[in-house]
A and B are shown apart, each in its own frame.
Chain A
Amino acid sequence: MTALLEVSGVSKRFGGLQAVKAVSFRVEKGTIKAVIGPNGAGKTTLFNIVSGFLAPDAGTIAFRGEPVQGSPPHRVSARGLARTFQHIKLFARMSALENVMVGRHVRSRAGFVAGMLHLPFTWSEEREVRARSLDLLDFLGIASLADAEATSLSYGQQRAVELARALASEPEMLLLDEPAAGLNMRETADLAQLIRRIRERGVTVLIVEHDMSLVMSISDEVIVLSYGEKIADGDPRSVQRDADVIRVYLGEEDA
């Protein structure tokens, strides 16, 4: 059986820097997989390649069995792969609810002509978009903030809006880029709970994260990158015991 996401031999070079070097891994449907590694290990580059923001120099990426490498982000998103950003990117001057409604873009179809003429099918479509988006804000426990300007919210709340926005497209798979960055311990614990609940909705999760406690508590599988290369891939326990991983994270014994 093929995996939901299959990354094979992906490489990316920026000038003299080999950011990602022949990385391969699979993400099975319904699992939570984490990508960890020290700063500069190539995690975000890998992430940007999978989400279509960068084209790989070599290698292939198959999502639901179809190649997606080199597709622009909006096509990748339309195929069911939604992402969040390390530095939260909410839409300013729009409410929390409107931000989430943008997330339903790929699940609705009103174009320029239908919009200008306010055609009847758009009325029910807009109602559906609004109702689904409110449901998601409710799922994330921020329904009361629906009308607040998104960028005026607290950091944790903005994270929640961004998650709701990504989920609004009803993705098969969610890519989370360092979702715990900037969160305190309590918020991080809440986030772990939330990611498990997202998986329970049937969404597969690929997460890039620094916070080891978060990664170890929620992941089914972990891959470790170092200098652009994959050095470990497996369940969290075995990865934690891996000699290479210990060396990368704790330094050489004789260093």
Chain B
Amino acid sequence: MKRTAGIYLIIWTAVILSGVFGLSSECRAEKNVILATTTSTQDSGLLDVLIPIFEKRTGYFVKTIAVGSGQAMAMGQKGEADVLLVHSPDAEKKFVTDGSSISRRLVMHNDFIVVGPSEDQAKIRGMKSSVEVFKKIASSSNLFISRGDNSGTHSKEKTIWKAANIKYEGEKWYQQTGLGMGQTLNVASEKKAYTLADRGTYLALKKRLGLDILAEGDAVLLNIYHVIEVNPAKWPKVNAAGARAFADFMISREAQGIIKIFGVNRFGSPLFFPDAGKRAEELGSR
């Protein structure tokens, strides 16, 4: 009995290992670039256009892991990603100052918008100041749906609540989905609730949503994307060359040109505005 078990064990270990290695040897590690990014860049479809071009030009293979900005930076902090494309400037600055990054460059921006049901019970339509908008939503006790996932959108939302000096946690009118932007918009649409969304994802999903843009244009609502290279000195296994190539590509004239026109055909307006070479501070005056 024992011998049979031993033989079984050897055979099946061999089978598993050969299966695992057989499949993993399909691509060599140094050609892989792990890109941790936000759900908005994937859900809008932008990366589906940019990444194949990058792969064709350079021969790298990009593994896009679409999570919230918070998780993307957590991956970077552990050296589990090579390059990040994120939109959470305050958290990013911390990421850079604690030595997790060697380079952080501006790629593009769009803006956040406050969306809600067309009936607009809280009467925020057309209001400019997002702080006032949030105050009004809170006092109307109409449902507000939050991402609640430490994403860039979520941290922007928290910043505005803080500026408006409103206690939202645990309130009846405040619910968190813990999901990506697309899913959260679907939830908000079903519940006839307000939410903060990035314009790109909203436009990409608009046809299925019963949500209108109710407030926009405040400088606070700027949504800025940076490409960040993870520090290889801290994490030797990071593919620094691949990360550099990807970051360079994102700010290259070619990629910036694609970003500029991406979405125009489908939505009538671009989803993102290319910003390579600019400084984040210049964008506020748009």
The answer to whether A and B interact is no
Q: Mark A residues whose CB is within 8 Å of B.
A: none
Show the binding face of B for A, using Cβ within 8 Å.
none
